[in-house]
Amino acid sequence: MENFSMVNPVKIIFGEGMIKEVANEIPKGSKVLITYGGGSIKKNGVYDQVVKAIDGFEWYEFSGIEPNPHYETCMKAVALIKEKSIDFLLAVGGGSVLDATKFIAAAACFEDGDPWLILSKHAEVKKALPFGDVITLPATGSEMNSGAVITKAETQEKLAFGSPFTFPKFSVLDPTTTYSMPPRQIGNGVVDAFVHVMEQYLTYNEGDSLLQDNMAEAIVKTLVADGPKALKTPENYGVRANLMWASTWALNGWIAAGVPEDWATHMIGHELTAFYGLDHGQTLAIVLPGVMTVLKEQKSKKITRLGREVFGINDNDATNRTIKAVENFFESVGVKTHLSDYGLGDEAIEKVVSRLSQRGWKLGECENITADVVREILTLRK
Ligand code: NZQ
Ligand code: ZN
């Protein structure tokens, strides 16, 4: 196991009916800005619960945060914060609303130029406004990590940042808020959480981080067992609770402690979203089987372990069968796994390869996924 230090300060408030607890978590006298997306929270009753909970606070709202949130939209919220002297943010929605709110919180306090520098040049975040959230879509783990991914629409760039100041103060996880998710988002969420685990598990190491490996497999087994059930029985509380908690665990830092991490699937996927607008989960379902195939030798011990522990595969062709099992699982939750399923082909591959080549990034846990290797990965996924 590698050396590590870690901290996760997020207070989790879990369960049906817990949205009212936000009133006890936001410091008294705060001027609150509720941030949300395109209106799903108004249709499923979450907005009403939140508004009731913050009765007594001076509050404002900022809506219209899009999936794969835009820097341009976030900066409008920053202007509102300055105009109204807001001092606490409450994000209500999916990962996009949470990520946008993290960036807004940092950008509102950024004094070293254009806040886009936080993403483009890793400019240091020295402070951020405090914020909490009510998460309504289990997938990203954003509710219990300090990371965020923001898109600059003008230049079609989708980039990530993280800082010790952008952990939520608290996150409310009420599984009943997820009953209203469309099937497409259920599938996307399951794939995203699954791939988060893979980015931290499916590397060259095997056997010397047993606790992390066992924890990673427990998360994935939960997703494999209950992902398809959420599609069949959307209002099954137990299933939704399991998916919500598993998604949080998939990216809250614990299974990353002391192990190498990959993240190539995410980095390649971000480009497909930036250029073509595919959902985050869709891009991962395309790319991961390609990464597993091309990096098969480097990752072989972990791929066979995944096959054995999660999919019950135990034979001579375990590596290939496990890769196929992963692809089949993504398809089973309704997420298509080939570029052609989304009308993309060679042109898209070259666009992504050329972008990554310009950046000079070498991806993966061994930093051996060059632009040419990305071409090989995506060509397999046509
Ligand atoms: O905008 P509204 O109307 O709220 O609708 C949303 C949106 O259209 C809808 N939705 C959310 N909760 C719902 C619901 N509809 C009905 N009922 C509910 N309960 O779902 C749509 C997608 O929402 P979005 O927030 O975009 O999805 P998700 O949570 O998958 O977030 C994806 C974003 O998170 C980033 C992705 O790159 C992408 O931008 N990620 C963030 C990470 C992090 N912070 O650690 C890690 C991830 O790898 C990921 O990159
Ligand atoms: Zn992800």
In a shared domain, residues 294 and 362: yes
CATH number at residue 169: 3.40.50.1970
CA separation for the pair 311, 276 (Å, rounded): 32
User: Is the sign of the CA dihedral 96, 102, 105, 106 positive or negative?
Assistant: negative
Whether 210 has a pLDDT exceeding 90, the answer reads yes
Count of domains in the chain? 2
CA angle 250, 255, 258 (to 5 degrees): 155
Q: How far apart are the first and last CA of the chain?
A: 37
Nearest-atom number in ligand 1 for the CA of 96 is: 25
Note whether 23 and 170 are same-domain residues: yes
Which ligand is located closest to the Cα atom of residue 287?
2
Condensed to tens digits (0 to 9), the pLDDT of residues 109-144 reads: 999 999 999 999 999 999 999 999 999 999 999 999
For residue 195, give both structure tokens: 């791939």
pLDDT bin (cut points 50, 70, 90) of residue 205 is confident
Q: Which of 177, 200, 219 is the last residue of a domain?
A: 177
Tell me if 222 is assigned to some domain.
yes
Quick one: pLDDT at residue 208? 87
- Do 169 and 197 lie in one domain? The reply is no
Task: Dig out the tokens for 74 from the structure.
Answer: 């976030």
146 Cα to the center of ligand 2, angstroms: 14
- Please give the distance, rounded to the nearest whole angstrom, from the Cα atom of residue 1 to the centre of ligand 2: 25
Choosing from 10, 16, 34, 40 the residue with most ligand 1 atoms within 8 A of its CB, the one to mutate for a pocket test is 40
Question: Tens digit of pLDDT for each residue in 151-168?
Answer: 999 999 999 999 999 999
2 inside domain? no
Residue 193 and residue 171 share a domain? no
pLDDT (tens digit, 9 = 90+) per residue, 335-365? 999 999 999 999 999 999 999 999 999 999 9
Looking at the structure, tell me whether residues 162 and 278 fall in a common domain: no
Judgement on whether residues 137 and 161 belong to the same structural domain of the protein:
yes
Same-domain status, 155 and 195:
no
Ligand 1 probe mutation, 42, 63, 71, 137, most atoms within 8 A of CB: 137
Indicate if ligand 1 lies below 6 Å from the C-beta of 280.
yes
Q: What count of other Cβ atoms lies within 10 Å of the Cβ of residue 232?
A: 8
Does pLDDT of 207 surpass 80?
A: no
Indicate whether residue 248 lines ligand 1 (CB < 6 A).
no
Q: Is residue 1 part of a domain?
A: no
- Domain shared by 250 and 369, yes or no: yes
Residues 19, 96, single domain; the answer is: yes
Measure 283 CA to ligand 2 centroid, in angstroms.
Answer: 9
Which residue in this structure is represented by tokens 């070498």?
362
Within a domain: residue 51?
yes
Shortest-distance Cα residue to atom 31 of ligand 1: 95
Last residue of a domain, one of 121, 155, 177: 177
Of 127, 145, 177, the position where a domain reaches its end is 177
Tell me the per-residue pLDDT of 263-276, one tens digit each, with 9 for 90 and over.
999 999 999 999 99
Which ligand lies nearest the alpha carbon of 193?
2
User: Domain check: are 310 and 330 in the same one?
Assistant: yes
4 located within any domain:
no
305 with 166, same domain: the answer is no
C-beta 148 within 6 A of ligand 1: yes
Query: 281: domain range?
Result: 183-380
CATH number of the domain enclosing 364: 1.20.1090.10
Instruction: State the complex-level ipTM.
Output: 0.99
Using the mean position of ligand 2's atoms as its centre, give its distance from the Cα of residue 192 in Å.
Answer: 5
Residue 73 CB less than 6 A away from ligand 1: no
Confidence of residue 332 (pLDDT cuts 50, 70, 90): very high
pLDDT of residue 338: 98
Task: Identify whether residues 92 and 172 lie together within a single domain.
Answer: yes
